[in-house]
Copies of this chain bind each other. A is one copy, B any other.
Amino acid sequence: MTESIQRYHHGDLQATLLQAATQRLETHGIDGLSLRKLAEDLGVSRTAPYHHFKDKNALLSAIAAQGFAQWHDVAKQIFEQHEVPAAKRLRVFIKNYIGFAAANPQMYELMFGRTLWQQGAASEDLKNVAYPSFQYQVEMTRMWQQHELLPKEQDPVRLAQVTWGTLHGIARLLIDGIYADSSHIEEMCDCAAALFIQHKTDC
């Protein structure tokens, strides 16, 4: 039988759903992602997805989890280039963080927005993927402190929250189109780096 013939069982609906949903997320946004439309697109009934994801939130969490894994890979790759000077790595990290957000705005919104996190409603699964990513931020901050790029006397956790907060905030302002547009990404990143980095003559 050819693949075009409609079978009762889809075969791999879970993975297909996840893939289609991820795609649709970026084009239509979180609110524009409708389970029913998604099902229709895949030629499957409205409630079929519910056999693979508890509810819409579970599907969104699964998408976000992919995003976290994806980002974590990027961060790790940058951070572990030991041959590159730490200051350079910090700058590259900043640009990649903002770049990731700007390139995948809806995914970023999903990963770090209110939809999944508001009032501690995030699922355990999501937390398990996200928290290591947060921890990694602290770890990097600690290293930058050791390299005296960031003030040594500050608590690493607080400092990570503030530096990460800065990137998060810039990303949000860009994504949401609030008093910042993507044509100035480079300059904003440079400005953020300049503000962070302890003043040395060759910065």
Contacts and interface: CB of A to CB of B under 8 A. Distances in A.
Given A120-B177, A151-B194, A158 B172 contact: no
B195 A162 contact: yes
Contacts of A175: 114
Interface string A156-175: 00110111111111111101
A159 B195 contact: yes
A191 interface: yes
Q: Say whether chain A's binding surface is mostly helix, strand, loop, or mixed.
A: helix
Given A120-B177, A169-B169, 6 more contacts: A130-B178, A131-B179, A155-B191, A159-B195, A164-B169, A165-B173
Contact of A117 (B150, B178, B191): B178
A170 B165 contact: yes
Given A166-B165, A178-B112, A179-B134, A187 B158 contact: yes
The contact size tier of chain A is 35 or more
Interface string A170-197: 1111011111100010011001101110
Interface string A90-117: 0000000000000000000100111001
Contact of A114 (B109, B118, B162): B109
